[in-house]
Amino acid sequence: MDFETEMKKLSDIAAKMETGDLPLEESMKLYTEAVELTKKLKEYIDEAKLKVEALEGK
């Protein structure tokens, strides 16, 4: 998946969790998925930052 798709997925998870209507087990499952997505998104950002720095000659 790409950055935008992963961000949309994370946003959808956040919206579901904000309702407060989920059972604990489902909330924990979504939280775990959100943590993993956050790690992937950070990797995308770190890669992009390295590419920009390389282009700028840093």
Q: What is the pLDDT of residues 7-49, one digit of tens each?
A: 999 999 999 999 989 999 999 999 999 999 999 999 999 999 9
**What helix, strand, coil percent values describe the chain, rounded to 5?**
85, 0, 15
Amino acid 31: pLDDT: 97
For residues 11 and 38, is the Cβ–Cβ distance under 8 A?
no
Amino acid 53: pLDDT: 93
Predicted confidence (pLDDT) at residue 1 exceeds the cutoff of 90? no
